Amino acid sequence: MFKQVIVVRKDLKMDKGKTAAQAAHASLEAYKRADVKDVTEWEAEGMKKIVVGVKDIKELMAIKDRAKNLNLPYYVVRDAGKTQLKSGTVTTLGIGPSPDEKIDRITHNLKLL
């Protein structure tokens, strides 16, 4: 089984629309970096996505470092600064699609957003 996990910073208190847009950016950009074989399997299984929250940038970046160490595809979204946030603000992290067991090693303890 394959999935993608989107990690959202809760301390930014983004409105729902902003959160959805940032999650979409994270999903698409991580997808572009994934292994073609993993993408094919993920698409065949229904493209499972899980959205979780973290308290702050420190927690998000620690998860990014763990994803990098496991050679998982990932993408850190930095806001363009055109609406609610300052330019360059890290908002979300996309991980995968990859095998569930690999992603679960770093995200299993995170709560759904």
- pLDDT for 84 equals 85
pLDDT in tens, 40-78: 999 999 999 999 999 999 999 999 999 999 999 999 999
pTM, whole model, 2 decimals? 0.96
Residue 80 CB: number of other CB atoms within 10 A? 11
User: Which CATH number does 2-107 carry?
Assistant: 3.40.1490.10
Which residues contact residue 54 at a Cβ distance below 8 angstroms, ignoring those fewer than 6 apart?
7, 8, 9, 10, 60, 63, 110
Which residues contact residue 56 at a Cβ distance below 8 angstroms, ignoring those fewer than 6 apart?
9, 10, 11
